[in-house]
Structure 1
Amino acid sequence: MGGVAVDDGPTGVKAPDGGWGWAVLFGCFVITGFSYAFPKAVSVFFKELIREFGVGYSDTAWISSILLAMLYGTGPICSVLVNRFGCRPVMMVGGLFASLGMILASYSTSIIHIYLTTGVITGLGLALNFQPSLIMLNRYFSEKRPLANGLAAAGSPVALCCLSPLGQVLQHAYGWRGGFLILGGILLNCCVCGALMRPLVAPKKVEEPESQVMVTEEKKKPKAKLLDFSVFKDRGFVIYTLAASIMVLGLFVPPVFVVSYAKELGNEDTKSALLLTILGFVDMFARPICGVIAGLNWMRPRCVYFFSFAMIFNGTADIVGSFAKDYNSLVAFCIFFGISYGMVGALQFEVLMAIVGTQKFSSAIGLVLLMEAIAVLVGPPSAGRLLDATKIYMYVFLLAGCEVCLSAIVLASGNFFCLKKKPQEPEVGEMELLNKPPAENGKAGEDMEKGQKEEADKETEKEPEEKEPEVKQPENAKVDSAEVETFLKDSKEENGEVATNPETCL
């Protein structure tokens, strides 16, 4: 294992399921925490920004929306860059962008500057870190991949519990400008996480000339696609993308409105904000536990249906929570929602990896995130309009629960009915032979053998007449054992593990 500038994810390299992969997992844990928690942590500074620039809350809320839009909407761009330059350099540049955006934002003189710096530049930097980290995690883990995904996904609630209090401390001590500057320095750790993403390299061939190695590598290495749209030919990928887009419409709605719902029921601000802490604490433990369950031998082949169950669990929690009338019922809702939310977070990318495989995952995740970006921008604002029209929080939670349950039904039914494998049917000639009685089959076999013998006798009679003086075969027609060994070695590396055949061994 070594490091190079560009990593193509060679097919002949087996995932180590450990070793340096644990360092990659740690980097992915930190990046996932920054990517998902940072848009929420920035909301701590909204009151200061409203006072500084004389704008409304809806204007400052656009900062988080632009951050999420950049995180999801730039998926295809990230895929192209990863396929062109590799994961490590893309993440290093992304860390610089994320830090630069927050540093420039500390010198902003209008809310538009905040949109461009914190929203666009920092959002792009986080996107350039998030997607490559998941791609590298997929390359380093195979057997332990569900557990690795669960542990990496746990970075989101852990970072949220750390960044939000840190933002409040920085705001009181240094103001919003000093807080943005320090957060920009903290985001430089994305470059450190990017440096951990050491690409996997295929093992070198033993005692083989360099010229021959270069020729074989040129033959084996196809032209890399910057964005592989062939994933849309996979029915499983299309079903997953459709279900995920529907799910995102309602998945993020309850965490946005649960605090306001508690205040509407007459609870204090600090008591209402405690609900998000409870949700994040439960979510923190639910993700790795779900990863362990998904990695069990009897569960892993049914991971898609386990993901569907998690979505139904989440949607049902929303529907039941819509009838909450006091603080205790909201606490119970946050506990069950945190469990289901953690299950969904731990399984969503694991299922995608299982559907498309390692080679197409870099393109698949970019296209999925692009589709989800549209739903992220539509979901919470639509719920807000419904709340403005009805003034009843119950309808908002009911709508979110129905959308998530619908996505579960689409995923489970689509996989069960559209991806059911058909038994392989023998060819027409084989079917006719199988359907004939044994006697007829035997007779047909004797006739065929008899005809073959007659043709062989005719050829032997013609041989003396047509036979010319013996001509020596050219030396290049002889089989060279070295060439055979080279051919067997090449085929083994290109096609993975090849079973040893005693007839081909020399």
Structure 2
Amino acid sequence: MSTARHNRLEQLRSNPDPLSSTTTVTASSGFSKHNDQEDDLLKKGVLSNRKDFEIELDDSEDDASDFPDGGFEAWTVVLGSFLGLIPVFGLLNSIGSIQTYISTNQLKGVESSITGWIFSIYLAIATAGSVLGGTLFDRMGRLAPMSAGTILYSIGLFTIAECTEVYQFILSFGVCVGLGTALNMTPLIGVISHFFFKKRAIATGLATIGGSVGGVFIPIMLRKLFISIGYKWAMRVLAFICTACLLMSMVLTKERLPKDEAYKRLSLRQQLLTYFTSSIDFRAFKDSRFLFCVIAIVFSEMSLTTALTYLPDYALARGVSEDNSYLLVTLMNVVGAFGRFIPNLLADKYGRFNVMISTSIIATVLCLTIWLPFGGDHKALYAFAMTFSFFTSSIFSLTPVCLSQICKTAQFGTRFSTMYFVVAFGNLVSVPIAGAIIGNGEVISKFNHFVLYCSMMSLVGLLSWLTSRFYIVRWKLWVQV
């Protein structure tokens, strides 16, 4: 054991409650193995003496000096991630416009609670399936999961053009595109954590702006193409563009940490056994910080994705034209681009959890004070949609950064996958529940119940963020975390 390491342990032994003291400990480097005694001592949670007060979990916590935090190679990776997230997050941000179109054309007359299953299955598989991509990324790098994901994503989009029945949309969009999204999501986010530490929130925010870019052009493009060349070719054009973005992202991104060579030497049977037994890290839930962070993301995403899915239908019910309902989705994604970057810029300065909690408070208040009482006024509805989009977009951009603060980089893929495996169950039921609440969409009072449903999920998410922060720094308010 190094002298510095020994001194750190002695400090912890002499100070059993480090959070109540001014004692600080410097993070050790990298990814070395550790014994149980050291692990038990260091998991008590110690604020480091760095400016951003990041939290140590164990002796394998990351050292800022190990990361490039800039340079041509690092920013090229961010560009590659940006391009890949245009289809991956962009399509997710556009499901409201797609849902509105198919429910009034291919699936006209089908109840909202039925069509909602198409998108809830897509969301569930996209999140739960990240378990597959996360473990592959940690062990073998980005190429294996992204290659498989790109193939599935492309096949799914091309076959959507031929869909006319609910089950066909579920298979092509829900299952195929969902799996493709899942396999690409974790590597596209994870590669950034390999190159950035101090600027991780900014870099992640810049990359996730790709989702807003996709969310802006996909609804506009589809709306125009549906009229000019028809539904089938519109979906094929979308498939070509998304495939091109994913292929370019594979070329530009790369991982920095070494691959697991021991895993490669195992037989195929042993690889599969190891893969499936290590894909979900249930032990992580013993850490209250991680547990409540996951709960927070579950309810925050349930609120956001449900609102994104049915807000165009809500607008139609309130007398907004179909064209303007598409415009509403576009404006939300334009504003969302700023919402993915500005909070992340502040997060590196004031604390990732602090900023996430602040945006969650504002989003919840907006639902209850503007959307619920004044949603019938078109100006108020547009104002709500844009401000809500700004303050909730950080859910996508800050979530991986908050997670990376309470785990080491070498664990990120598995922890991220574990988190979204749980989130998947929330996404699976949230949209159909909202569809059941709305019914046939002809009764305004049911839409008000839908607004309350979104608001309460946002509130539970907020309380969970606060609880996760409490387990990091206890009652300390004026610290950056």
The TM-score with structure 2 as length reference comes to 0.73
Using the TM superposition, give the Cα deviation of residue 348 of structure 1 relative to its aligned residue in structure 2, in angstroms. 1.6
Matching of residues 51-62 of structure 1 within 5 Å? 56=110, 58=112, 60-62=115-117
Shift of 1:161: 0.9
CA distance in 2, matches of 1:111, 1:392: 24
Closer/same/farther in 2, CA of residues 399 and 37 from structure 1, 3 Å limit: same
TM-aligned CA deviation for residue 372 of structure 1 = 1.0
Matched, 1:14 2:58: no
Q: How does 1:341-490 map to 2 (within 5 A)?
A: 341-388=392-439, 391-416=445-470, 420=474
State the secondary structure of the residue aligned to 1:356. coil
Q: CA deviation at 1:295?
A: 1.5
Conserved? CA contact 2:160–2:172, under 8 Å: yes
In the other structure, the counterpart of 2:342 is 289
Deviation at 1:51, TM superposition (A): 5.3
Unaligned 5+ residue runs, structure 1? 1-7, 203-213, 423-506
Alpha-carbon distance change, 311 to 272 in structure 1, aligned in 2, over 3 angstroms: same
- In the alignment, which residue of structure 1 is the partner of 2:214? 159
- Cα gap change, 1:229 to 1:360, in 2 (>3 Å): farther
> Per-residue CA shift, 1:439-472, capped at 9, x if unaligned?
xxxxxxxxxxxxxxxxxxxxxxxxxxxxxxxxxx
Identity of aligned residues (%): 22
Match of 2:225 among 147, 170, 174: 170
- How many angstroms apart in 2 are the aligned matches of 1:175 and 1:263? 23
Give unpaired runs (5+ residues) of structure 2: 1-29, 33-61, 266-273, 477-481
Mapping 1:219-258, distance limit 5 Å = 226-258=279-311
| 2:256 aligned residue | 200
The residue aligned with 1:80 is 135
Q: Which amino acid aligns with 1:334?
A: A
Structure 2 match to 1:140: 195
Shift of 1:418: 6.8
Q: Displacement of 1:56 after TM fit?
A: 2.8
Q: Which residue of 2 aligns with 1:191?
A: 247
Match of residue 158, structure 2, among 95, 99, 103: 103
**Most deviating of 148-157 and 381-390:** 381-390
Partner-residue secondary structure (3-state), 1:200: coil
Q: 1:243 to 1:51 in 2, by over 3 A?
A: closer
Match of 1:278 in 2: 331
The reply to whether residue 318 of structure 1 matches residue 367 of structure 2 is yes
Q: 1:242 to 1:327 in 2, by over 3 A?
A: same
Does structure 2 conserve the Cα–Cα contact (< 8 Å) formed by 1:88 and 1:195? no
CA distance 1:270–1:16, change in 2 (3 Å): same
Deviation per CA, 1:36-59, whole angstroms, max 9, x where unpaired? 222464654875697568873645
Once the two structures are superposed, what CA deviation does each residue of 1:27-77 show, in whole Å capped at 9, x if it has no partner?
Answer: 222222312222464654875697568873645554333322221121222
Q: What's the counterpart of residue 261 of structure 1?
A: 314
The one of 325, 333, 339 equivalent to 2:390 is 339
**In structure 1, the residue corresponding to 2:67 is in which secondary structure?**
coil
Mean CA deviation greater in 96-105 or 156-165: 96-105
Distance 2:191 2:75 in 1: 11
8 Å CA contact 2:292, 2:467 repeated in 1: no
* Distance in 2 between residues matched to 1:137 and 1:117, nearest whole Å: 30
SS in 2 for 1:295: helix
Q: Distance in 2 between the 1:333 and 1:284 partners?
A: 16
Preserved contact between residue 250 and residue 401 of structure 1 (Cα < 8 Å): yes
Greater shift, 154-163 or 81-90, is seen at 81-90
Cα distance in structure 1, aligned partners of 2:447 and 2:85? 30
Quickly say closer, same or farther: Cα 1:384–1:354, change in 2 above 3 A.
same
Instruction: State the structure with bigger RCO (CA 8 A, min sep 6), 1 or 2.
Output: 2
- Corresponding residue number in structure 1 for 2:58: none
User: What TM-score, normalized to structure 1?
Assistant: 0.70
Q: Deviations over 1:335-371 (max 9, x none)?
A: 3212211233332221111111212111111111111
Kept in 1: contact 2:106–2:164 (CA 8 A):
no
- Look at both structures and tell me which one has the larger radius of gyration over its CA atoms: 1
Residue of 109, 118, 121 corresponding to 1:66: 121
Deviation at 1:105, TM superposition (A): 4.0
CA contact (8 A) 1:129 1:194 kept: no
**Closer, same or farther: CA 121–383 of 1 in aligned 2, 3 Å:** closer
| Distance in 2 between residues matched to 1:52 and 1:343, nearest whole Å | 34
CA contact (8 A) 2:225 2:231 kept: yes
Structure 1 residues 383 and 294: CA distance shift in structure 2, 3 A: same
> Structure 1 residues 418 and 331, CA, compared in 2 at 3 Å: closer, same or farther?
same
Q: Give the 3 Å change call, closer, same or farther, for CA 286–106 of structure 1 in structure 2.
A: closer
Q: Residues 280 and 386 (structure 1 numbering): CA distance in 2 closer, same or farther, change over 3 Å?
A: same
Q: Indicate conservation of the 8 Å contact 2:76/2:252, yes or no.
A: yes
Whether the 8 Å CA contact 1:49–1:176 is kept in 2: the answer is no
